[in-house]
Amino acid sequence: MTNTQKKRSGPRPLCIHTGLLQANAASYGDFAQDNFIPYSNEDRINIIRGIQKYQNSTYSADRPSLSSQYEYKGIHLLTPDEEDKENVQYKRSLLLIPSLINNANIFNLNKDRSFALWLQQNDIEVFILDWGDISKTNPDVTMETLVAEILPHMIHAASDRAQNSLDILGYCMGGTLLLGGLSFTAVNIGKIIFLAVPWDFHSEKSGFFKSLRLWSPFALETIQRNGYLPSLWVEFLFAMLDMSKAGSKFMDFDKMDPRSEQARLFIDVEDWLNSGCDIPKHIAQYCIKEWFSGNVTAQNKWIIKDCVIDPSSYKNDVLIIASDKDKITPYECTEALEKQLGNANVTVLKESCGHISYIAGQNAVASIWEPLLEWVKE
């Protein structure tokens, strides 16, 4: 480890990952019984050893470079750098919108697993919306401003710079925001991709609602006290959704050759997970009260500036990608969106992978990326 490289402090929240090693699931009631598998003494040792290997690794990601093409209120429109890019004629143009919760590096993890660069090398002109540290650049932003002004402005900026009619992909919360933003977007949008997008937050197959009942009151107090929702609180919520995975992944990492591509990808994903962004006060309160608790999206009651966000108003070609093994956004959570897109030409790609595995999974390229590319080019 070099003098300038800081030791990793993650995984976050570290208290969850280490506390689970001593936990007795029986003492935590039905919730823990559904979400937690007790560890053996050997498992505990392997998990601690895996965490230490992650923290002490001297590896840092070799990401393809990205250039900012436009900036508005601290939010950037990025494109992958390629030689002689100006002379390339792309077949389609695609804007990638990530969640607010983590940074846009999920689309550009490393040189061997850059979804953005891979698309561009396959004749797709790529733009990435990078929210940046929005709690610092836009601390007082509201959901109305984000959905009705900022997001449409960035969509217009991408459309103005695109060689073709703009297609858009929304990942996780980015897709939910996209559905709202399209209601205030004047430009003609081509195809739309919803990748692991939550819509029915009360889906019985999701552990999300059960976790929220425990988490929300304390999160709301924290928001009121701090003036924002710390990223650690979001990471805590997601750790609750899949507590067994929080430890078992480090058992798997402990067995990996630290020089292997698999180990490097694990570190890049874990670094991305641990680089979560604080959420501005009004956005966080809105998500908890209106989306998570009120479930206004699934009930077709999501209203922004007196406009009902109605998926049935879209007639685009739409690709929905969801998984029955996604603990954060299971297929049933997205199925409600499919039903509401009654006037669109909807294609569904149902997979069996985790929430991050759409991009970073071992089989992601063959099972997700390639079918997605084929659909976009149709």
CATH topology of domain 66-203+280-377: Rossmann fold (3.40.50)
Where along the chain do its domains lie? 66-203+280-377
Rounded mean pLDDT, 309-326 = 95
Q: Which residues of 5-21 are buried (b: 16+ CB within 10 A; e: fewer)?
A: eeebebbbbeebbeebb
pLDDT value for 320: 98
φ and ψ of 350, to 5 deg: -100, 120
Residue 22: per-residue pLDDT: 55
Question: Could you report the per-residue pLDDT of 155-182, keeping only the tens digit for each?
Answer: 999 999 999 999 999 999 999 999 999 9
pLDDT at 113 over 60: yes
Give yes or no for residue 3 having a pLDDT over 50.
no
Sheet harboring 75-80: ordered strands across?
Answer: 66-72, 75-80, 124-130, 92-97, 166-171, 189-195, 317-323, 345-351
99-113 mean pLDDT: 94
What pLDDT is recorded for position 4?
44
Q: Looking at residue 228, what is its pLDDT?
A: 96
Residue-wise pLDDT tens digits, 331-361 = 999 999 999 999 999 999 999 998 899 999 9
Q: What integer best gives the mean pLDDT of the chain? A: 89
Mean pLDDT across the stretch 62-70?
A: 95
- Reported as a pLDDT band with limits 50, 70 and 90, residue 40 is confident
Average pLDDT on 231-248 reads: 80
On whether the pTM is more than 0.75, the answer is yes
Host H or E run for residue 179: helix 173-181
